Chains A and B, each alone.
Chain A
Amino acid sequence: MTGAFFQSWFLPGVWITVQVTFLSAALAFVISFVIGLARTAPSRIVRILAGIYFEVFRSTSSLVFMFWIAFTVPMLFQIKFIGMAAGVIALGMTYGAYGSEIVRGALAAVPPAQREAGIALNFTRVQRLRRIEIPQAWPEMLPPFNNLLIELLKGTSLVSLIVVADMTFAGNLQRLVTGDSAPVYTLLLVVYFVLAFLLTRGMRLLERRAKAKLGQAPPKGGLFGGLRERGAIDAVTGTAGTAGTGGAK
């Protein structure tokens, strides 16, 4: 690996990966809340529509969907996506569906008496959500959101297949040019792992803050406690997780 390769391909690739992760995480976050809240809406039609969104995107392969957005949509509707837009839209929409299950599950875990108290105080639904339910559900959402964020970071490697020059793309380029693949792919794996590690640190910090605000004990686990968290919701499968499996502990 040469300095020129690092300067012109790998480091810009790392930056693209970070950008794609950040942008699609932002989109996924918004979609998680919109769909997650819609799935608990009083109106039945809204609930059903949001449920269809969740089921469709949970059943779709993110890579196939990305190809579809990147190649089929421009042909069908005569529009063009600039740069990484197709990848960000595809990742954001798929992971947003998984995120909606996190939002829905965490809201459902808030004790019903809290909601009833809000009703008794004549709060509107929006006030209840904003003042009572979301603040209490938020710390519960963060651990599964952390896992989902790492899945999303891993998912960003797929954009290299729709010709976005992220760091996986740079790695493939290096292989094609020099035929020497061992160092660059090893480096790629390490960089992805380090990014995942940094994201986990950041999310743990948020979780600590959120719990402190509610007067709860901070999360345990030191520097080597592992990157994933065991929550009530499995962000990878979009289902209730296995943490609650079984009776006696």
Chain B
Amino acid sequence: MNWDWSNVDAFMPRFWDGVLVTLQALAGGVVIAFALGLVWAIALRSTHRWVRWPVAAFTEFVRNTPLLVQLFFLFYVVPSWGPSMSPLVTGIVGLGLHYSTYTSEVYRAGIDGVPAGQWEAATALSLPKSRTWYAVILPQAVRRVVPALGNYVIVMLKESPQLAAIGALEMLGEARGFSNETFTFEAISVVGIAFIVIAYPASVLLRALERRLVR
């Protein structure tokens, strides 16, 4: 045991920089995942199979391959024929895209939970399709799945350190940089504890929310 608290103190300024980047990545990723997941969920209910099948194949493929390799793909392969993005932006896109395939399942469950009578009522009132979705179905579906979506925010937080692998300086990236430059090892423990300190209260909060919203 040769733990040195002064190394922890020295790491703190960079730690807070890392926290900021982690939160940026998380916020961006969550927005993409929530929006795109809804798009997938609605597309999977399309009446055209040439919409349904490609979306099903794509989401299935993205969901069952590692985020880490997808990040490498986005960072090293995509720029050769597409846009070139900074590590953080690549990370946000990768995180958002990967977890949109999970949130689409969450939305699907919520949409399936809307009673059939609601659809029939919308048809009886001859509401157009778009209006049926945003005025009748989605408000009921999304409300039910808010806690489940929240759980995926926590999952995304815990997966965000993978962004360090493509050079984004979030918490783990800062910790690795600091450890390598100073030949110390305390920084990673600080980051590990930080994750528990953020994620545990968040999950407790979500469980309370779930008890209120879903009965």
Contact = CB atoms under 8 A, between A and B. Distances in A.
Most chain-B CB neighbours within 10 Å: which of A77, A182, A193, A242? A242
Given A59-B203, A77-B1, A234 B151 contact: yes
The interface residues of chain B, by DSSP majority, are classed as helix
Most buried by A among B60, B66, B155, B189: B66
A119 to B, nearest CB: 30
Interface in A29-78: 55-56, 58-65, 67-68, 71-72, 75-77
A100 interface: no
B188 A68 contact: yes
Contact of A226 (B60, B154, B160): B60
A175 B77 CA distance: 10
B24 interface: no
B95 to A, nearest CB: 13
B196 A155 contact: no
A182 B77 contact: yes
Interface in B104-147: 105-106, 109-110, 112-117, 144-145
Interface stretch (B9-17, B32-40, B68-76, B84-92): B68-76
Of the four ranges (under 10, 10 to 19, 20 to 34, 35 or more), the interface on chain A belongs to: 35 or more
Nearest to A196: B64
A58 B199 CA distance: 8
Interface residues of B, number: 62
B157 to A, nearest CB: 8
B110 A60 contact: no
A157 B68 contact: yes
Interface stretch (A79-87, A120-128, A183-191, A212-220): A183-191
Nearest to A158: B68
Contacts of B152: 236-237
A155 B66 contact: yes
Interface in A173-201: 175, 181-182, 185-186, 188-189, 192-193, 196-197
Contacts of A136: none
B165 interface: yes
B72 A61 contact: no
Contacts of B176: 67
Interface in A114-171: 150, 153-158, 160-161, 168, 171
Nearest to B154: A237
Interface of A: 55-56, 58-65, 67-68, 71-72, 75-77, 150, 153-158, 160-161, 168, 171-172, 175, 181-182, 185-186, 188-189, 192-193, 196-197, 226-228, 230, 234, 236-237, 239, 241-243, 245-249
8 tightest A-B CB contacts, nearest first:
A246-B113, A242-B109, A59-B199, A248-B115, A237-B151, A157-B66, A154-B66, A181-B76
19 contacts: A59-B200, A64-B191, A68-B192, A75-B185, A76-B185, A77-B1, A154-B66, A160-B68, A181-B72, A186-B77, A188-B69, A192-B65, A196-B65, A228-B64, A234-B151, A245-B113, A245-B148, A246-B112, A248-B117
